[in-house]
């Protein structure tokens, strides 16, 4: 199991936020402020502090971690084919790779190397996969599918095709391929100012320890910033009350509900507190009680007067009066109709049957009881005198009285009389009702002292009663519509009753306060109510303190969870296993092979937290501090050495991929790295992406010196996209032989332009060909004439190559002629004498062949010289 795999398995029992931190550190060894912000929010959320951003922890997935290399299996890459949706690489493109030796893939900046490199990193589960694989920016992202490719491989010599798709678990055999990047094994400055080598994976634990330390500091500061304060209720908590007990138990037992319940005073509680305060402040409670009861008695009398007055003009009385008046009017109307009929009897005086006549007849009835005692009016004898005119009645007179009486006694007439009597009684009851409330100055003053609103309410009732009495009389007389009678104002009786009860309660309390035991109970009750009242005033501060206690308790739990000792112990355990002499020896060997002689790795014991562990520390012979001495290029060389050492100790047989390995390296170290890669290519497949032509030439030279196989590929930008593969390297990368071959290809295009009569194209192609011919003559001096003994930017002079070198006058003349003619036609356009005629294609062909003939003659001569000089 690799370090990463062991850490991944161990991390599954860690808190979710730490697993998220490991996933981030795996993807990017340095966490940004935004990463730390996310992790802090996740750590707090894990202890119950909600995250407003709703962030969710992510975990390092099994598929992201490369399995250990299989030492019994040989995996070799033959090509990456059918590439789709990878940056702007040619859709369906194919990049061939030699399964053996070293394959150098050259491309200018922006040619598409990074696209291929990212595919390798993701498919082979490289240690650094921070760079995303994006689709072509010119295409609609909604219609572009996932990045994918086919890896043509040889597994133990057998051809296999592995399909890879981005964000899907890669084929397992591809994990045997190792990818170099600056994060795979690194030199770093620790907090002691030393450079120490950390095997890949342990740096993740170191990073996690750093994250815990930073977040612990931050959480501690936040806890201090949110420390709760009891200043608002400290005094209240010292009293001997239920409130004090609850406050003193913050935060262990008391809850928000306890505080809310105690701080919520009902109107009854508030009234009780007021009562107790007043009662306990009296010096003569019994006298005060008598005074209060006298006031209550006066209020009772006022209430009774109001009750009587309201009853006199109540809605019931209004309705009854209205009904009696309306009924009387209706009965009178019916009686009037009957009277009209009676009046039509012949021989009767005008007005007979009217009200005056009725009154006269009723007076005669009363008089007859006296004048005709012993007889029932109107049944009088015929010889009796008439009680009205006192003349003899006779038969007609007696019958007339009987007829008149019958009219008076008819039901209609009687109903009218009865209804009128009832209406008169109802009207007189309203008219004569006594509505005075007797609100004198003394009573008004007393009401005002008890309740400022009571006098006005009572006065309004007095005015309302008087107005209603008048309006009811007007309505009965037909001067006002019944519905226009004004309703009475707000009734003060409930408030009077409430005030009377309060006075009675206070009087009882005053009487009770005369008893010491009862008084003590009242004092205690007032203290409790007063404490609750004060609590309501500081409730928000108390609730805030509880919230801060709860928040700080969660932060404390969060801080405890950021203890990095367990992580350090795991790092120590792994360090004891991995910081071995074997690893130190492998690192020193690689540093030596890269000619970093001034650097040496030594194992140094450390005891962080009392636990001994070992660090592989780079030492300088002169004793200087590495942090102040090592350049960026030297650190890069150390990283390459560390990578190769780990590959060696991993026992795997898979190939290695280097993406621009000589970036930041100086001129001299490029040669060491080139030689080391060529040496490694004799053990395993090596693939190198580079934009450095000079480094490519060095690789070829070292491969030739060591007898290693080297394959050079060229990728470039075309109309179809980036990363298009070509077997033809750029002209300036080619040797003399390759350049002559390229010139012959150019000659084909020159002949076609000449044949087509395209003079401009013919002239341009011919000038370009002669320019390249001139460069080839220059390269031949270095490569052919001097047999590579001296090379531009070379690491030295190869004196042994001079065995094959001889320079004759003919060589000078051939070179001078070829260079002069080539230069003339290359610079033709700049000549003032006019444009020279364009050489015929056959002439260009002859000039190319002259160079090749001379080259071959020099090579043959070199063989003869070597044989002779040996």
Q: How would you write 572-636 as a 3-class SS string?
A: HHHHHHHCCHHHHHHHHHHHHHCCCCCCEEEEEEECHHHCCEEEEEEECCCCCCHHHHCCHHHHH
329 vs 432 pLDDT, higher one:
432
Contact status, residue 79 vs residue 662, Cβ threshold 8 Å: no
Least confident range of 188-197, 682-691, 708-717: 188-197
145-157: average pLDDT: 93
pLDDT of res. 509: 82
Task: Measure the CA–CA gap between 647 and 66, rounded to whole angstroms.
Answer: 14
CATH class of 68-177+654-728: alpha beta
322-328: average pLDDT: 84
Q: How far apart are the first and last CA of the chain?
A: 56
111-139 burial, b at 16+ Cβ within 10 Å, e below that, comes to: bbbbbbbbbbbbbbbbbbbeeebbbbeee
Please say if the pLDDT value at position 677 is more than 80: yes
Per DSSP, the residues of 389-422 read: T-SB-HHHHHHHHHHHHHHHTSHHHHHHHHHHHH
Pick from 178, 218, 184: nearest CA to 201: 184
604 vs 775 pLDDT, higher one:
775
Exposed / middle / buried, residue 459 (Cβ in 10 Å: 0-12, 13-18, 19+):
middle
pLDDT of res. 820: 87
Task: Measure the CA–CA gap between 739 and 730, rounded to whole angstroms.
Answer: 10
24-53: average pLDDT: 90
Distances from the Cα of 410 to the Cαs of 101, 332, 340, 417, 424, in angstroms? 146, 13, 14, 11, 21
Task: Measure the CA–CA gap between 185 and 203, rounded to whole angstroms.
Answer: 9
- DSSP-derived 3-state class of residue 722: strand
Please say if the pLDDT value at position 114 is more than 80: yes
Pick from 680, 629, 711: nearest CA to 193: 629
pLDDT band at 335 (very low <50, low <70, confident <90, very high): low
How confident is the model over 488-524, as pLDDT tens digits? Answer: 999 999 999 999 998 888 888 887 877 778 888 888 8
561 vs 797 pLDDT, higher one:
561
| Highest mean pLDDT, choosing among 222-226, 344-348, 574-578, 662-666 | 222-226
Tokens 């950021």, located at residue = 562
The pair phi, psi for residue 457, each rounded to 5°, is -65, -40
pLDDT of res. 189: 42
Q: Looking at beta carbons, which pairs linking 339-345 to residues 24 or more positions away fall under 8 Å?
A: 339/413, 342/407
Cis peptide before 251 (omega within 30 of 0): yes
Task: List the chain domain ranges.
Answer: 1-65+200-225, 68-177+654-728, 319-430, 734-870
pLDDT of res. 832: 39
Please say if the pLDDT value at position 407 is more than 70: no
Pairing of strands 686-690, 656-659: parallel
Q: Looking at beta carbons, which pairs linking 764-771 to residues 24 or more positions away fall under 8 Å?
A: 766/825, 766/838, 766/839, 766/841, 766/844, 767/825, 767/826, 767/828, 767/829, 769/743, 769/844, 770/821, 770/822, 770/824, 770/825, 770/826, 770/839, 770/844, 770/847, 771/822, 771/826
Pick from 93, 89, 80, 92: nearest CA to 164: 80
pLDDT of res. 785: 85
Distances from the Cα of 439 to the Cαs of 232, 435, 455, 691, 849, in angstroms? 50, 11, 9, 112, 141
Please say if the pLDDT value at position 833 is more than 80: no
97 vs 731 pLDDT, higher one:
97
Exposed / middle / buried, residue 35 (Cβ in 10 Å: 0-12, 13-18, 19+):
middle
Per DSSP, the residues of 685-716 read: -EEEEE--HHHHHHHHHHHHHHT--EEEEEEE
Percent of the chain with pLDDT over 70: 87
Exposed / middle / buried, residue 274 (Cβ in 10 Å: 0-12, 13-18, 19+):
middle
Average pLDDT of the chain to the nearest whole number: 83
Q: Which ranges constitute the DSSP H helices of 227-371?
A: 234-237, 242-248, 256-263, 267-280, 285-312, 315-343, 355-371
Cis peptide before 577 (omega within 30 of 0): no
Task: Measure the CA–CA gap between 506 and 288, rounded to whole angstroms.
Answer: 9
**Length of the chain counted residue by residue:** 870
577-594: average pLDDT: 79
33-47: average pLDDT: 94
How confident is the model over 464-479, as pLDDT tens digits? Answer: 999 998 998 998 888 9
Pick from 246, 242, 267, 273: nearest CA to 542: 246
160 vs 636 pLDDT, higher one:
160
Beta bridge partners of 158: 155
Enumerate residues 6+ apart whose C-beta is below 8 A from 687. Answer: 77, 97, 102, 103, 105, 120, 655, 656, 657, 658
Extract the tokens encoding 263: 């701080």
Task: Measure the CA–CA gap between 349 and 351, rounded to whole angstroms.
Answer: 6
Full-model pTM: 0.58
Angle at 774 between CA 770 and CA 775, to 5 degrees: 120
Distances from the Cα of 196 to the Cαs of 23, 536, 553, in angstroms? 24, 63, 39
Please say if the pLDDT value at position 621 is more than 80: no
Please say if the pLDDT value at position 295 is more than 70: yes
364 vs 623 pLDDT, higher one:
364
Task: Measure the CA–CA gap between 200 and 179, rounded to whole angstroms.
Answer: 13
| Highest mean pLDDT, choosing among 8-22, 199-213, 336-350, 653-667 | 8-22
Extract the tokens encoding 272: 């009780």
pLDDT band at 794 (very low <50, low <70, confident <90, very high): low
30-54: average pLDDT: 92
Per DSSP, the residues of 785-838 read: ISTTSS-TT-SS--GGGGGG----HHHHHHHHHHHHHHHHHHTGGG-TT-PPPP
Pairing of strands 710-718, 102-106: parallel
Enumerate residues 6+ apart whose C-beta is below 8 A from 243. Answer: 236, 262, 528, 531, 532, 534, 535
Task: Measure the CA–CA gap between 270 and 44, rounded to whole angstroms.
Answer: 43
- Name the strands in the sheet holding 178-180, side by side, starting at the edge strand that comes first in the sequence: 178-180, 656-659, 686-690, 102-106, 710-718, 721-726
Count of CA atoms in the C-beta half-sphere (13 A) of 344 = 6
Contact status, residue 173 vs residue 75, Cβ threshold 8 Å: yes
Please say if the pLDDT value at position 188 is more than 50: no
Extract the tokens encoding 368: 């007859």
pLDDT of res. 344: 59
Exposed / middle / buried, residue 657 (Cβ in 10 Å: 0-12, 13-18, 19+):
buried
363-372: average pLDDT: 80
- DSSP-derived 3-state class of residue 158: strand
């Amino acid at each position: 199991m690799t370090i990463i795999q062991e850490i991944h398995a161990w991390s599954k029992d860690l808190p979710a936020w730490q697993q998220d931190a490991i996933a981030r550190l795996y993807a990017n060894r340095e966490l940004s402020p935004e990463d730390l912000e996310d992790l802090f929010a996740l750590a707090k959320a894990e202890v119950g502090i909600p995250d407003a951003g709703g962030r969710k922890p992510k975990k390092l997935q099994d598929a992201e971690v490369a399995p250990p290399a299989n030492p019994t299996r040989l995996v070799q890459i033959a090509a990456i084919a059918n590439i789709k949706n990878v940056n702007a690489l040619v859709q369906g493109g194919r990049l061939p790779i030699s399964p053996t030796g070293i394959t150098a893939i050259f491309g200018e900046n922006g040619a598409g190397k990074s696209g291929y490199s990212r595919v390798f990193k993701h498919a082979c589960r490289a240690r650094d996969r921070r760079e995303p694989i994006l689709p072509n920016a010119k295409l609609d992202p909604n219609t572009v599918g996932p990045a994918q490719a086919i890896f043509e491989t040889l597994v133990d010599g057998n051809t296999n095709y592995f399909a890879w798709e981005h964000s899907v678990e890669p084929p397992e055999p591809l994990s045997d391929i190792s990818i170099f990047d600056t994060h795979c094994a690194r030199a770093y400055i620790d907090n002691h100012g030393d450079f120490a080598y950390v095997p890949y994976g342990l740096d993740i634990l170191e990073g996690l320890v750093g994250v815990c330390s930073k977040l612990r500091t931050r959480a501690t500061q936040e806890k201090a910033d949110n420390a709760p304060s009891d200043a608002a209720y400290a005094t209240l908590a010292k009293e001997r009350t239920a409130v004090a007990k609850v406050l003193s138990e913050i935060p262990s037992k008391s809850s928000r509900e306890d505080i809310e319940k105690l701080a919520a005073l009902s109107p009854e509680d508030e009234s009780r507190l007021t009562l107790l305060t007043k009662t306990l402040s009296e010096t003569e409670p019994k006298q005060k009680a008598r005074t209060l009861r006298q006031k209550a008695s006066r209020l009772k009398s006022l209430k009774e007067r109001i009750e009587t007055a309201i009853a006199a003009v109540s809605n019931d009385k209004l309705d009854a009066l209205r009904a009696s008046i309306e009924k009387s009017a209706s009965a009178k109307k019916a009686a009037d109709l009957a009277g009209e009929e009676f009046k039509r009897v012949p021989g009767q005086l005008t007005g007979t049957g009217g009200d005056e006549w009725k009154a006269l007849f009723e007076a005669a009835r009363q008089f007859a009881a006296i004048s005709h005692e012993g007889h029932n009016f109107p049944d009088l004898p015929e010889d009796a005198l008439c009680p009205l005119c006192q003349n003899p009645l006779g038969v007609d007179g007696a019958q007339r009285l009987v007829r008149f009486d019958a009219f008076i006694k008819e039901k209609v007439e009687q109903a009218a009389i009865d209804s009128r009597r009832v209406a008169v009684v109802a009207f007189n009851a309203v008219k004569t009702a006594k509505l005075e409330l007797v609100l004198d100055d003394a009573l008004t003053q007393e009401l005002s002292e008890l309740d400022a609103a009571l006098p006005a309410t009572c006065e309004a009732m007095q005015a309302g009663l008087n107005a209603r009495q008048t309006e009811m009389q007007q309505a009965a007389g037909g001067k006002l519509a019944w519905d226009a009678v004004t309703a009475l104002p707000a009734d003060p009786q409930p408030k009077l009753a409430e005030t009377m009860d309060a006075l009675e309660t206070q009087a009882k309390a005053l009487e009770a306060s005369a008893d010491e035991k009862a008084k003590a109970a009242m004092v205690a009750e007032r203290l409790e109510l007063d404490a609750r009242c004060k609590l309501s005033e500081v409730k928000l501060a108390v609730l805030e303190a509880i919230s801060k206690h709860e928040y700080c308790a969660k932060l404390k739990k969060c801080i405890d969870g950021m203890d990095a000792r367990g992580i350090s112990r795991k790092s120590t355990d792994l360090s004891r296993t991995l910081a071995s002499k074997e690893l130190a020896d492998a690192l020193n060997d690689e540093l030596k092979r890269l000619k970093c002689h001034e650097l040496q790795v030594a194992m140094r014991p450390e005891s962080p937290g009392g636990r001994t562990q070992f660090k592989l520390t780079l030492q300088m012979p002169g004793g200087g501090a590495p942090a102040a001495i090592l350049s960026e290029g030297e650190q890069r060389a150390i990283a390459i050495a560390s990578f190769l050492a780990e590959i060696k100790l991993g026992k795997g047989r898979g190939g290695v991929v280097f993406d621009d390995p000589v970036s930041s390296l100086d001129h001299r170290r490029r040669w060491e790295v080139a030689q080391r890669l060529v040496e490694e290519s004799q053990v395993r497949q090596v693939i190198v992406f580079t934009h450095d032509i000079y480094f490519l030439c060095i690789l070829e030279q070292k491969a030739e010196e060591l007898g290693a196989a080297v394959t050079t590929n060229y990728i470039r930008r075309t109309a179809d996209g980036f990363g298009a593969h070509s077997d033809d390297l750029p002209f300036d990368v080619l040797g003399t032989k390759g350049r002559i071959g390229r010139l012959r290809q150019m000659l084909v295009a020159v002949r076609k332009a000449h044949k087509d009569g395209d003079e401009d194209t013919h002239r341009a192609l011919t000038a370009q060909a002669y320019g390249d011919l001139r460069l080839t003559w220059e390269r031949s001096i270095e490569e052919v004439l001097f047999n590579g003994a001296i090379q531009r930017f070379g690491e030295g002079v190869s004196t042994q190559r001079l065995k094959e070198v001889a320079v004759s006058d003919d060589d000078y003349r051939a070179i001078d002629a070829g260079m002069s003619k080539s230069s003339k036609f290359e610079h033709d356009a700049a000549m003032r004498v006019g444009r020279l005629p364009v050489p015929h294609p056959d002439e260009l062909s002859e000039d190319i062949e002259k160079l090749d003939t001379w080259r071959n003659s020099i090579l043959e001569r070199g063989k003869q010289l070597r044989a002779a000089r040996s």
